[in-house]
Amino acid sequence: MNPLTGKQYGTTFPVVSVNDMVRAQFLLLNHLGIQKVHASVGSSLGGMCSLTAAVLYPERVDRIVSISACAWSHPSSIAMRYLQRKCIMTDANWNKGHYYDGPFPKLGMKLAREIGTMTYRSGPEWDTRFGRKRIDPNQKEQSLCPTFLIESYLEHQGEIFSTKFDPNSLLYISKAMDLFDISEDFGSLHEGLSRIQCPVMVIGVQTDILFPIWQQRELAQVLQEAGNNAVTFYELNSIYGHDTFLLDLNGVGAGVKGFLETHLKETGWLTKTSKDVKVNFSHTKNCVYY
């Protein structure tokens, strides 16, 4: 609520950045009397926040884990989030963000979530899970209504999310992710990441289409080039895409647990598959095993 008007801010609230979010987190730590954290761990937007924490407050973070994130937002991810925001903002009920006393922009939220769901999971998972299975295998006459199970899955995901989350909150968080760029305040990506001197674990997923694996490889490589000698890269061969950090608890959890409990002194480059752990020596001389 805006104390000056007695009404919801809506879109009169200023656009926030990842830096703003992290500064707010550290104001809370100040309030709680916590001077230093053992680790800042986050995935997706949280992975952006964990990196930012170590850049803005290098003396207050002992180590960081960045999962399925990046050092700056790339055009492909920005484009996907733009379309989600457009779905909401073109819903007539959105009313330029002032919908709190009127009809809820449910259709826009539903479409935004359906697009988002496509970016969170992967084709290999859906091939295994849905294939070309039909909603009604016995249907004789076809129509323009949903035919395949994958269509009903997207419909369901959009429906259950559409009234659970505030549309303006989604817009603001989405925009903050688009604006994320570690290099912005430091002249270059190398200069910005050079502020991170604590051990870093970067985790990526080979089937992630929202934050493709090359973005985590880039992050790990630039960290090393910027002078960090304690970078571990953990690559997961999971079928779950961007949502792997929510679903593959063994794969992600094992890596994070080992990193948080290890006094890391060497540079690691790990590639984990479902059957074994492969080590890629093309980017580093040393490797840390978990």
Q: From residue 67, how far is each of 41, 48, 243 by CA, in Å?
A: 8, 9, 11
Instruction: Give the chain's radius of gyration (CA, Å).
Output: 21
C-alpha span between 75 and 98 (Å, rounded): 29
Angle separating helix axes 45-56 and 167-179, nearest 10 degrees: 50
Active-site pick, 40, 242, 243, 248: 242
Specify the 3-state DSSP secondary structure of 211. coil
Q: From residue 198, how far is each of 27, 50, 51, 155, 207 by CA, in Å?
A: 21, 12, 11, 44, 28
Active-site pick, 40, 44, 73, 174: 44
Active-site pick, 91, 208, 243, 248: 208
Count of helices and strands (H, E) across the chain: 11, 6
Active site residue 242: yes
Residues near 220 by beta carbon (within 8 Å), at least 6 away in sequence: 200, 202, 231, 233, 269, 283
Longest alpha-carbon distance in the chain: 67
Phi, psi of 236 (to 5 degrees): -100, 135
- Note whether 290 and 254 are within 8 A (CB): yes
What is the DSSP secondary-structure string of 37-54?
Answer: BS-EEEETHHHHHHHHHH
Active site residue 44: yes
Catalytic positions, please? 44, 208, 242
